[in-house]
Structure 1
Amino acid sequence: MTEFYRPTKAVIDLNAIQQNLQIFKERSGKAEIFAVVKADAYGHGMVEVAQKAVESGVNWLAVATPDEALLLMEHKIEANILVMGHSPAAFIPVAQRAGIAVAAISLDWILQAGAVIDPDLPRLKIHLKVDTGMRRVGVQAEEVREAVQLIRRHFFSFEGLFTHFATADEDRNDLFQRQVKTMAAVVEEINDSSVMIHVSNSAAAIMHPELAFDAVRIGISLYGIAPSSYVENNMPITLAPALGLETEIVHIKRVAAGEAISYGATYRCEQDEWIATLPIGYADGMLRGLQGQEVLVRGKRVPIVGRICMDQCMIRLPEKMPVGEQVQLIGSQAGAQIRIEEWAEKLDTIAYEIPVNLTKRVPRIYC
């Protein structure tokens, strides 16, 4: 086992992930669950999360890139794998050999894949992506008939049909309803019960369980994070956050009133203050915009003062505390809690960005 000498670490609660999976299984009825483990499982650790998902009865894993799929294969994760993003032509025979399903994202892509298919290998597993309004990738609704004809003409196995909702996590739902209507028409046109239909992301699975179809894709909420504040404030379920971020005080000093802290002297002590240094900075994913964000020490909130450095930051304490005192940056301590969503609000961004921006320098510890 690798030893870590710096006290900064992300603690991942795999039981929380299992609990969230169970919630979505119950909410989605007979539908399959895709555990979305792209982007290193949203910063939580792709291999470990995938293993836990499979142990919990999940049959499908979804990733964004071919390389992510191959990493799962290297670790002998026994599940069906779908690459939801672009798969280049060079990956096609690799996917055939490994049994990895890929997304057909355009008519041109289908033709290019068909040109490099290896007939001596198993058929290429295809999930046809339909662009119902996201305008990112996918065939247009009016191209679906031609796309299906091309898929069935080539050495493909037409395994799935899917789309992605752009505004399922928002209160306004005009675009969402148009996407639902468009996809319903596509499903009716194809009329093939052997093709797996999956349209719901986390937000749709939470707010619109009637759209479960054959499978739902659970990404951000697998990790106990609501897709948006609107969903968080209105969802009928309770998710278990899976990630905690903690460190320790490594230095403390009494700083005189009027003295400045850190680069740019953006913070000056209003009185004599106890200032502690933490071994975490923006190179770890604790971005400079978090200056002023609070952390937990002995269950009490204390602020980050001065600019966050690349490797360190400083906090103001109410009293002298020893080196080695535990500090909770995200998560719970002594009945108090700081959530990922709080960081996101401070940074004026979405909660998704917080865990994926925790760099590899922060070890993930699993419990």
Structure 2
Amino acid sequence: MISSLHRPTVAKVNLNAIKDNIKQVQSHIPTGKKAYAVVKANAYGHGAVEVAKAIDPDIDAYCVSNLDEALELRQAGITKEILILGIILADQLALAIENNVTLTVSSLEWLEDAKQSGADLSKLHVHLKVDSGMGRIGVRSLSEANALIAALLAEDSHIDGVFTHFATADEANADKFKQQLHFFTELVESLDHKPALVHASNSATSLWHSETIFNAVRLGIVIYGLNPSGTDLDLPYPLTAALSLETRLVHVKTINAGDTVGYGATYQAKEAEVVGTIPIGYADGWTRDMQGFSVLVDGQACEIIGRVSMDQVTIRLPKVYPIGTKVTLIGQDGSSVISATDVADKRGTINYEVLCVLSDRVPRKYF
């Protein structure tokens, strides 16, 4: 999908805010910890290549979700370590090794497939994933971990790290988190061969459980300035949201009482009112459930009326504004602010999803 460069809808990304957020987090965690920047899913919608290039002096390594994301960074000139957090299939192994990409391993079955792939496993760098309670990928017992490590060492593979991902680190009730932490800590301490790197800290853990950081940290949503818990937990220190979403009015008209707006005629005016149309829709990631939400025009909240269309949204205006007037969907206008978390609350989801679903039709502009 190509970006729509010739319409006024744009996501603006403040790269300095991302750099400042990294420095803010690092100032609140113990010194000497290896810092991974998580830039998977196009850097949570912010643009992986542009973000990685901007923050490269400030971090030690990167995390992505799959081989394509890793190769994109390599092709852009990123030379630091890249760890794939997901599992790749054995037929992709040689390409990963060729591009010096570190892999996650989580089962003996995967290693058996890898041995059949023909790739040189002596050049393979891996981190062992432990399932501490998320229930997705990872070894689930000490015996399983030791068996996999022994099998990797038999192939002369490089076991650079061991890690886990907590399921509830962003929740107010820490009971489950403590159970997961205890399981992981006990397993790591009992390994027959303990890798040099041990990491369990994601954004939430770095914010609210920094005392549990081992010797590396994975910084994800926090570097983009968002609270990983939404509104459940308060941030312990300020962060700056890096992304704003803006467009402009392309049509303004006055409708009469009884006139309807949008598919299904679900909105009917009770009196004469001014309606503005903006060029954004669900194909851009501004989903249909945003009907009834408000955007900002001239610092004022303006309700979305009628159904959100694929490419257009209609809003009720307090007065006639000229075509080209700025409309803020995420961000600040005057003293008013709409956050990605506000949008997420309207949708019944999380702020991560709001940013990740912004489609490629929306160009990212960096400053």
Q: Structure 1 residue 201: deviation in Å?
A: 1.0
Q: Structure 1 residue 115: deviation in Å?
A: 3.5
Distance (whole Å) between structure 1 residues aligned to residue 207 and residue 192 of structure 2: 26
1:217-366 residue pairs with structure 2 within 5 A? 217-230=218-231, 233-366=233-366
Task: Indicate the SS of the match to 2:69.
Answer: helix
Native 8 Å contact 2:108 2:148 kept in 1: yes
1:210 has 2:220 as partner: no
Q: Structure 1 residue 258: deviation in Å?
A: 1.3
Match of 2:100 in 1: 99
Task: Indicate the SS of the match to 1:87.
Answer: coil
Native 8 Å contact 1:28 1:216 kept in 2: no
Native 8 Å contact 1:89 1:112 kept in 2: yes
Q: Structure 1 residue 217: deviation in Å?
A: 0.7
Distance (whole Å) between structure 2 residues aligned to residue 24 and residue 93 of structure 1: 36
Task: Indicate the SS of the match to 1:352.
Answer: helix
Q: Structure 1 residue 33: deviation in Å?
A: 1.2
Q: Deviations over 1:306-350 (max 9, x none)?
A: 111110010111111100001111001112110000110000111
* Percent identical: 40
Native 8 Å contact 2:188 2:194 kept in 1: no
Distance (whole Å) between structure 2 residues aligned to residue 339 and residue 191 of structure 1: 47
Native 8 Å contact 1:33 1:216 kept in 2: yes
Match of 2:136 in 1: 136
Native 8 Å contact 1:273 1:316 kept in 2: yes
Q: Which amino acid aligns with 2:35?
A: I
1:46-57 residue pairs with structure 2 within 5 A? 46-55=48-57, 57=58
User: What are the ranges of 5 or more consecutive residues in structure 1 without an aligned counterpart?
Assistant: none
Q: Structure 1 residue 117: deviation in Å?
A: 5.3
Q: How many residues align?
A: 363
Moved more, 141-150 or 98-107: 141-150
Distance (whole Å) between structure 2 residues aligned to residue 66 and residue 178 of structure 1: 32
Q: Deviations over 1:25-78 (max 9, x none)?
A: 1122221111001111111101011111213x2121000001111111111112
Distance (whole Å) between structure 1 residues aligned to residue 188 and residue 339 of structure 2: 39
Task: Indicate the SS of the match to 1:213.
Answer: coil
Q: Structure 1 residue 127: deviation in Å?
A: 0.2
Match of 1:27 in 2: 28
Distance (whole Å) between structure 1 residues aligned to residue 182 and residue 104 of structure 2: 22
Q: Deviations over 1:275-319 (max 9, x none)?
A: 010000111111010001111111111111111111001011111
Q: Which amino acid aligns with 2:315?
A: I
Q: Structure 1 residue 4: deviation in Å?
A: 2.0
Q: Structure 1 residue 192: deviation in Å?
A: 5.5
User: What are the ranges of 5 or more consecutive residues in structure 2 without an aligned counterpart?
Assistant: none
Native 8 Å contact 2:162 2:195 kept in 1: no
